[in-house]
Structure 1
Amino acid sequence: MSVDDVRAAAERLAGRVVRTPVLRSPALDALAGAELWLKAECLQRIGAFKARGALHAVGRMSPETRSRGVITFSSGNHAQAVALAAREFGVPATIAMPVDAPAVKVAGVRALGAEIVFAGTTSEERRAAALAVRERTGGAIVDPFDDADIIAGQGTATLELVEEVLARGSKLDALVVPVGGGGLIAGACLVAEAADIAVYSAEPGTCNALARSLRAGERVAVQPGSTLADGLKPVRVGEQNFAVASRVVRGSFEVDDDALGRALVALLLHAKVLVEPSGAAGLAAALSGALRGRRVGVLLSGGNVEPSLVAELLGRHAGQA
């Protein structure tokens, strides 16, 4: 895969996804000691970048394949994205979600008309449930991340970011990307590789499948631990995703719940934008000061968060932002 695949995906997605804004905040720059360029995918359709990959992948299916229905397994944002794509193309969707999925994401999937099957708490349990549905219905699985069409679709977020920064007379030195299964970072790497931009991953320290895999030189499975970032809890990163990331990613940042909470609150107070904890991971890494003095692109990957959690984090971190 290359940046040409991402450019082709951008052409196919024209008119189907939002060209989300790129935000600047002097207050956040000061906190990070860096020039931050924030790509607000929290303002994308269904509130997350996942709409890009799902609409691209489902759109690339033959009408005959789509007509049998689409199936996926997801903790929430990809679930909503596939439900959206199914509605747009007029086909049924069945989604395997974890039993502990945030209520706001479950409600979003149901509002889009998809059927939900609840299955365990890990991505492997959800995947097994999705395969069982496929066996019963003959529907097509839309993989959450380990798929070339998904990767190319997700890469369009970074493509837009790089284009916008250049149009405004600047150029990124680095890019920080939240990582779950690796769809977003693999797409970002295809774009950044062509533009000579260093890429860094951001993961919860309790669910650091990519960081461990990069250190080992091969994909490593992890047992996901507790984290506020419900969208960043893979057992392992995808095979295609790791193949791309392993040749491009320069380093990994691991962020804990306090850092995620502080980043979420700082973004809300200083940039007036709300993200979910998973969407705050890249900013949390930047606010650590590790990229001081650089021009840094930060992907704010999603904004589907429980209001009660926002209230709790504001009470805990507002005085630190």
Structure 2
Amino acid sequence: MSVDDVRAAAERLAGKVVRTPVLRSPALDALAGAELWLKAECLQRVGAFKARGALHAVGRLSPAARDRGVITYSSGNHAQAVALAAREFGVPATIAMPTDAPAVKVAGVRALGAEIVFAGTTSEERRAAALAVQARTGGAIVEPFDDPDVIAGQGTATLELVEEVAAHGSKLDAIVAPVGGGGLIAGACLVAEAADIAVYGAEPGTCNALARSLAAGERVGVPPGPTLADGLKPVRVGAHNFEIARRVVRGSFEVDDEALGRALVAVLLHAKVLVEPSGAAAVAATLSGALRGRRVGILLSGGNVEPDRVAALLTRHAGSV
């Protein structure tokens, strides 16, 4: 895959996704010691970048395949994205979700008309449930991240980010992307590789599949540990994703719940947008000072978070950011 796949996806997605704004915040720059350009995918359809990959992948299916229905497995944002794509194309959707999925994401999937099957708490359990539905219905599984069409769709967020920065007469030194299964960072790599921009991941220290895989030189599975970032808990980075990431990614920063909470509150107070803990991961990495002095593109990957959690995090961190 290359940036040409991302450019083709951008043409197909024209008018179907939001060209989300790129935000600047002097206060966040000061906290990070870096010049941050924030790509606000929290303002994307369904509140997350996942709309890009799902709409692109479902749109690439044949009409006959779509008519048998689409199926996926997801902790939330990809679930909502596939439900949206199914509604757009007028086909049924069945989503396998974890039993501990955030209520706001479950409600979002149901509001879009998809059927939900609850299955365990790991991506492997959800995938098994999705395969069982496929065996029964013959529907097409839209993979959450390990699929070229999904990766190309997700890459359009970074393509827009790089274009926006260039329109201001600047060029990024680095891009930081949250990492779960690797769809967003793989798409970012395709764009950044062509533009000679460094790429870094950001993932919970308790679910650091990319960091461990890069260190080992091969994909490594990890048991998903506890984390605020419910969207960053796959047990293994996708095969397609890792092959792209291993040639481009310079490293993956590990962030804990304290850093995620503080970053969420900092973005809310200073950039005036609401992100979910997963969506705050890249900001959390930069607030550590890891990229001090650089011009950094930040992917705010999603904004689907329960109000009670936001209130609790505001109470804890508002005085420190």
- Same-fold call, TM > 0.5? yes
Indicate the percent of aligned positions where both proteins have the same amino acid. Answer: 88
Q: Distance in 1 between matches of 2:229 and 2:255?
A: 10
User: 2:233 matched to which residue of 1?
Assistant: 233
SS at structure 1 position matched to 2:206: coil
CA deviations 1:7-57 (Å, max 9, x no partner) are 000000000000000000000000000000000000000000000000000
- 1:199-257 CA distances to partner (integer Å, 9 max, x unpaired)? 00000000000000000000000000000000000110000000000000001100000
SS in 2 for 1:99: coil
| TM-score of the two chains, using structure 1 as the length reference | 1.00
| Residue of structure 1 in register with 2:18 after alignment | 18
Instruction: Provide the rounded CA distance (Å) in 2 between the counterparts of 1:30 and 1:109.
Output: 38
> Equivalent residue for 1:44?
44
2:109 matches 1:109: yes
Taking the aligned partners of 2:252 and 2:148, their CA distance within structure 1 comes to 23
Letter of the aligned partner of 1:202 in structure 2?
A: A
1:172 paired residue number: 172
What are the Cα deviations for residues 173-210 of structure 1, in whole angstroms up to 9, with x where unaligned? Answer: 00000000000000000000000000000000000000
Alignment of 1:63-78 (within 5 A): 63-78=63-78
The SS at the match of 1:206 is: helix
Distance in 2 separating the partners of 1:130 and 1:249: 31
- 1: CA distance, partners of 2:202 / 2:290: 12
Instruction: Give per-residue Cα distances to partners, 1:248-278, cap 9 Å, x unaligned.
Output: 0001100000000000000000111100000
Q: Deviations over 1:111-138 (max 9, x none)?
A: 0000000000000000000000000000
For residue 155 of structure 2, what is the amino acid of its counterpart? G
Give the Cα–Cα distance (whole angstroms) in 1 for the partners of residues 41 and 230 of structure 2: 17
**Distance in 2 separating the partners of 1:30 and 1:318:** 16
The C-alpha deviation readout for 1:273-310, integer Å capped at 9, x for no partner, is 10000000000001100100000000000000000000
Give the corresponding residue for 2:205.
205
Q: Could you give the per-residue CA deviations for residues 86-134 of structure 1, whole angstroms, max 9, x where no partner exists?
A: 0000000000000000000000000000000000000000000000000
1:122 matched to 2:119? The reply is no
**Could you list the runs of 5+ residues in structure 1 that have no partner in the other structure?**
none
Matched, 1:282 2:294: no
Which residue of structure 2 aligns with residue 268 of structure 1? 268
CA distance in 1, matches of 2:234, 2:138: 26
For 1:310, the aligned partner's letter is V
In 2, Cα distance between equivalents of 1:117 and 1:252: 33
In the alignment, which residue of structure 2 is the partner of 1:3?
3
| CA deviation string 1:156-187 (max 9, x = no partner) | 00000000000011100000000000000000
Alignment of 1:70-219 (within 5 A): 70-219=70-219
Q: Which amino acid aligns with 1:300?
A: L
SS in 2 for 1:38: strand
Structure 2: which 5+ runs fail to align?
Answer: none
Task: Please give the secondary structure, in 1, of the residue aligned with 2:36.
Answer: strand
Q: TM-score, normalised by structure 2?
A: 1.00
Aligned counterpart, 2:298: 298
Paired positions, count: 321
SS in 1 for 2:231: coil
Give, in whole Å, the separation in 1 of the partners of 2:44 and 2:268: 17
Q: In the alignment, residue 114 of structure 1 is paired with which amino acid?
A: A
Partner SS state of residue 94, structure 1: strand
1:320 aligns with 2:289: no
